[in-house]
Every structure is written in structure tokens, then in C-alpha cells.
Amino acid sequence: MIFYICMMALPVLQVFVLWFCVNINSIFLAFKTYDYETGQYFWNAFTNFKNVFYDFGRIPFFGASIRNTGIIYLANLIIGTPLSVLFSFYLYKKMPMSGVFKTILFVPHILSALIMVVIYKYFVDRAIPTITEIFTGKQIEGLLANSDTTLATIIFYNIWTGFGTSTVMYSSTMAGISESIVEAAKLDGITPLKELWHITIPLIWPTFATFVVVGFAGLFMNQAALYNFFGDNAEYSLYTFGYYFYVSMRTSSITQYPYLAALGLILTAVALPLTFALRKLMDRLGPKTI
């Protein structure tokens, strides 16, 4: 029992200090409003929540935020996650030019995020139109400047810059796979793709599931590097909830804080049960031991 208490004390303390103590004021703030005359907050029950639900059907960028937040998460899940596993397997097996490949994947994490954004903007808005004109004779808009391709360009950037951390975690987990299992499979004539599907993925499933669940848990806080690209001036059609919160906290007055706190609680109430449900689903889909 003493051992159990000591082991559980740290995570409980961490949750209490880093979540409860940090957010307790925001939770109470969601049920308050600001009075200009007294310069203080006072209770107003659920008025902020009513305003938020009313604005969901009235303010256009709320609909765009829901759409873009979902699209960016699904793009990272459906495209980024499988590619991260595949790239990690490539590095783990030390295939040809794996060192060069590793450098390319880690460059976004070596350089400053702002430097990467500047380089990326020059490439997609200047280099690509110039190259296209040289080879085809056609003049096109930059990929960020063209409203039809802006969101896709940003999604590509987020997927590319997200490879570094996940690749490190996946390849490190793969390095812990017993060599005897792999050697026995090779004796039976297993191919690299079958090794990846039947051996590697089942043995790294806990890490894979953790990335999927943690990514979903941060769904409404992901600003998709929009601030790095556009500052406070992103088009409403590109908004995500993470970007909206970040810009609003920088530019809004203290009178808006209760409204933002109420919106945060509503999104938490949506994300929390779905995160636990996703965790159970990933456990159910994972490999079973007998």
C-alpha cells in the first residue's frame, strides 16, 4: 500500500497542480460577467453558455473552426500517422539513405518555427509559381495566396513538421522489439511489409494508440501554426478553435474572458468523453495476448 501511494502521489499531484490549480479560475470565470462600474466580476449563472450556443449558429468563423479543426486532425490521423510509422520503420531497418531521410524529417525541429514558416512561405508562394512558369509557361498564384489551396498548403506543412517527434518515439519503440522474433520470422520467409504489419505494428500498438488519443485530446487547442503564418490576420475561413483562443486572448479585453472560459468548458465537455471513448476503442482494436 505504501508503494502504491508513493507511485500514485506524483501523477495525482501533477494533475492537481498543472490542471486544477491552473484552470480553476477559468472554470469559475465561465459563470461570471464583468461590471464596468465596479471593475469586478460577478456571477451570472449560465448567460455566457447561452451566448456561446447562440453564436454557434450566428458567427461564420465558428462553423469554419469546427470544419477546419476536424479536417486538420483527420489529415494528421489518416495521412500523417501512417507515414510516421512507415518512415520510422524505414529508419529502424536502416535502409539505404536512412540517415539523409532522418535529417530531412528533423530539420523542422532543429530550426526555429518562424524560420521554417518563412522558408516555407517563400517556397510555396514564390518558388513553385516560378518553377511552374519555367516548365509550363503558365502563371499561377502562390499556394498560400490562392484561397483554393491555402488550407491544403497549411495542412501539408503541419503534417511535415509533425514527423520529427512521432518518428523518434516510434523508431525508439521499434528498437526495443526482440531480435529473436524478427529472425524467426525471416526464417519463415517474411517480407518487410508483412513484418511491419504482423510484427512491428502490433508490438508498438501502445505507443501508436497513445499518439492517436493524445492528438484527439488536443483537438480544440491545435492552432495549426496559423499564427506563425498570418499573425492576428488569418482569414475567418482558415480559423481553428486553437487559433481563435490564442488570438482572442491576445487581443480581447477582460470583458471577453468569461465568454472564452465558457466556450472552453463546452469544448472540454465535448472532447473529454470522446477521448475516453477513443481510448477504449484503441484498447479494443489492439492486439490481444492469451
Q: Domain spans of the chain?
A: 61-251
Is a pLDDT exceeding 80 seen at residue 37? no
Query: Confidence band (pLDDT; 50, 70, 90) for 290?
Result: very low
CA 174 – CA 207 distance, rounded (Å): 10
Is a pLDDT exceeding 50 seen at residue 83? yes
Phi, then psi, of 34 in degrees rounded to 5: -100, 135
- What Å distances lie between residue 27 and 21, 127, 149, 264, CA to CA? 10, 47, 38, 9
CATH architecture for residues 61-251: Orthogonal Bundle (1.10)
- Exposure on the CB side of residue 89, measured as CA atoms within 13 A: 19
Is a pLDDT exceeding 80 seen at residue 137? yes
Is a pLDDT exceeding 60 seen at residue 289? no
Is a pLDDT exceeding 80 seen at residue 106? no
Query: Confidence band (pLDDT; 50, 70, 90) for 263?
Result: very high
Is a pLDDT exceeding 90 seen at residue 175? no
Is a pLDDT exceeding 70 seen at residue 225? yes
Is a pLDDT exceeding 80 seen at residue 185? yes
Is a pLDDT exceeding 50 seen at residue 186? yes
Instruction: Mark residue 225 as left, alpha or beta (left: phi above 0; alpha: psi -120 to 50; beta: remaining).
Output: left
Query: Confidence band (pLDDT; 50, 70, 90) for 55?
Result: confident
What pTM, to 2 d.p., does this model score?
A: 0.83
Is a pLDDT exceeding 70 seen at residue 74? yes
Q: Is 42 in a helix, a strand, or coil? A: strand
Question: What torsion do the CA atoms of 22, 18, 4, 272 make, to the nearest 10 degrees?
Answer: 80
Instruction: Mark residue 45 as left, alpha or beta (left: phi above 0; alpha: psi -120 to 50; beta: remaining).
Output: left
